[in-house]
């Protein structure tokens, strides 16, 4: 993937913005009637001057809290939405200007929607895709055979889509959007609502797609395990603005400095004055009580040594259990979402 990043970008997003104008809706019955005549619009900046590039063969995680503008960006990348300002270039094309040509090169999955024909077996949807993308028969059959094997579709192929479980359906969605060998694939929450086993299967498949087929992938998700398993690079956006673009390792290095001491006390022990007494151990300590009676102390190892804290706790309280933890990605991202980065 390092050699990929030096190649000319396959996706280039330049100063992209999208503003929606929506009617300010007033609540209640009177409000509803007023809405009929209202011209009171409010502008929402869904995407606000975002720029990034993706090199061929990269697998990039595109994350952010709900409503951050992830899906809106993807809709602009596919050519469906027109930017209010800025530009998108995908493999040399401006998708808005050459939507049809662009659509043949891309595959899209919106995890919350289905592209499969609901009342009939997935095979019929695949057949439709064959015609839709004018896929040569040999290519179609080879791809289908491989995908069916990788995703263990076998039996599912004959059942109407409406009878499939979410995980089974999502596997079929992947097939439907990949049969035409797209160069670039946008996966918008492909693991949403799936159980751990189903998620893992999807992840393995995505990884295969990226590594064996060299497909460029932009992945949005709320499951950070997806990101840790799949992506080296992450783009984080919030409120329409780009707040981080870099490697996962860098995030951990930069923002994951804080580590945690987690401990619980022996039955009946009092935790009175714990917070105050810990604050005297060193600067920048944060104490949090957990619902199960555990206590979490987060600290910056450059300011206080873990041993200083643990020694203080063990010497002053009847400890039942104690451990020191690295900050995990979820904690880091939670902090980033909550505070914004340096904003």
Partner 1 sequence: MTRVYEEIDRQLGIVVATVKQTLAYRFDFFTAILGALLMMALLYYLWTAIYASSTSMAMSYQALITYVCLGQAFSFARPGQRRILVRIGAGIRTGHVLMDLVRPTDYQLLTISDTFGAFLMETLMVSLPSYLVALLFFGISLPASPEAAFGFGVSVLGAFFLVSSVDFLIGLMAFWTMNVFGLVWGLGYLKIAVIDILAGTVIPLTLFPDWLRGIALALPFQGMAFTPLAIYVGTIQGSAIWTSILSQFAWGVGFVLLTRLVWLKARRRIEIQGG
Interface ranges with partner 1 (CB under 8 A): 20, 66, 71, 75, 78-82, 100-101, 103-104, 106, 108, 110, 112-115, 117-120, 124-125, 127-128, 130-134, 160, 188-189
Beta carbon nearer to partner 1, 220 or 264: 220
Beta carbon nearer to partner 1, 31 or 318: 31
Nearest to 151 by CA among 82, 97, 207: 207
Q: What are the Cα distances from residue 39, in Å, to 20, 23, 43, 59, 149?
A: 15, 7, 12, 44, 55
Q: Which two tokens stand for residue 110?
A: 């919106």
Beta carbon nearer to partner 1, 114 or 298: 114
Beta carbon nearer to partner 1, 171 or 180: 180
* Residue 205, SS3 per DSSP: helix
In the complex, minimum distance from the CB of residue 239 to partner 1, in angstroms, rounded to a whole number: 16
Q: What share of the chain is helix, strand, coil (3-state, %, to 5)?
A: 40, 25, 35
In the complex, minimum distance from the CB of residue 249 to partner 1, in angstroms, rounded to a whole number: 29
In the complex, minimum distance from the CB of residue 112 to partner 1, in angstroms, rounded to a whole number: 6
In the complex, minimum distance from the CB of residue 72 to partner 1, in angstroms, rounded to a whole number: 9
Contact between 226 and 191 under an 8 Å Cβ cutoff? The reply is yes
Element (H, E) at 37: helix 28-37
Beta carbon nearer to partner 1, 125 or 168: 125
Beta carbon nearer to partner 1, 130 or 171: 130
Beta carbon nearer to partner 1, 122 or 256: 122
In the complex, minimum distance from the CB of residue 123 to partner 1, in angstroms, rounded to a whole number: 10
Beta carbon nearer to partner 1, 188 or 226: 188
* Residue 339, SS3 per DSSP: helix
Contact between 95 and 24 under an 8 Å Cβ cutoff? The reply is no
In the complex, minimum distance from the CB of residue 294 to partner 1, in angstroms, rounded to a whole number: 35
In the complex, minimum distance from the CB of residue 44 to partner 1, in angstroms, rounded to a whole number: 10
Q: Is the dihedral of CA 230, 231, 235, 236 positive or negative?
A: positive
Beta carbon nearer to partner 1, 29 or 197: 29
Q: What are the Cα distances from residue 259, in Å, to 35, 137, 213, 239, 302?
A: 51, 55, 39, 28, 10
Q: What are the Cα distances from residue 302, in Å, to 146, 170, 306?
A: 51, 45, 10
In the complex, minimum distance from the CB of residue 70 to partner 1, in angstroms, rounded to a whole number: 8
In the complex, minimum distance from the CB of residue 93 to partner 1, in angstroms, rounded to a whole number: 12
Q: Is the dihedral of CA 274, 277, 281, 287 positive or negative?
A: positive
Q: Which two tokens stand for residue 107?
A: 């595959």
Between the two ends of the chain, the Cα-to-Cα distance in Å is 31
């Amino acid at each position: 993937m390092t050699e990929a990043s030096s190649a000319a970008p396959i996706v280039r997003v330049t100063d992209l913005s999208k503003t929606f104008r929506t009617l300010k809706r007033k609540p209640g019955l009177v409000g509803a009637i007023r809405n009929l005549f209202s011209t009171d619009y409010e502008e929402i900046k869904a995407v606000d001057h975002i720029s990034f590039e993706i090199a061929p063969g990269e697998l990039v995680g595109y994350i952010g809290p709900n409503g951050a503008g992830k899906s809106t960006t993807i809709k602009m990348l596919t050519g469906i939405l027109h930017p209010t300002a800025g530009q998108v270039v995908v493999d040399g094309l401006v998708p808005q200007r050459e939507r049809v040509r662009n659509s043949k090169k891309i595959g899209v999955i919106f995890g919350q929607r289905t592209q499969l024909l609901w009342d009939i077996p997935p095979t019929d949807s695949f057949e439709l895709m064959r015609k839709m993308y004018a896929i040569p028969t040999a290519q179609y059959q080879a791809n289908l055979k491989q995908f069916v094997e990788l995703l263990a579709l076998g039996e599912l192929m004959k059942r109407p889509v409406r009878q499939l479980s979410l995980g089974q359906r999502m596997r079929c969605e992947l097939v439907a959007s990949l049969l035409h060998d797209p160069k670039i694939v946008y996966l918008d929450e492909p693991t949403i609502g799936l159980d751990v086993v189903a998620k893992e299967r999807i992840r393995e498949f995505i990884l295969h797609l990226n590594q064996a087929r060299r497909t460029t992938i932009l992945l949005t998700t709320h499951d950070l395990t997806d990101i840790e398993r799949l992506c080296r690079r992450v783009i984080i956006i919030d409120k329409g603005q780009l707040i981080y673009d870099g490697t996962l390792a860098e995030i951990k290095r930069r923002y994951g400095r804080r580590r945690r001491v987690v401990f619980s006390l022996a039955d009946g022990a009092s935790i009175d004055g714990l917070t105050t007494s810990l604050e005297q151990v060193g600067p920048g300590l944060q104490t949090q009580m957990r619902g199960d009676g555990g206590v979490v102390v987060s600290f910056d190892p450059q300011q206080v040594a873990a041993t200083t804290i643990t020694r203080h706790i063990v010497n002053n309280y009847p400890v039942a259990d104690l451990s020191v933890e690295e900050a995990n990605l979820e904690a880091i991202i939670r902090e980033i979402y909550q505070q914004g980065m340096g904003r």
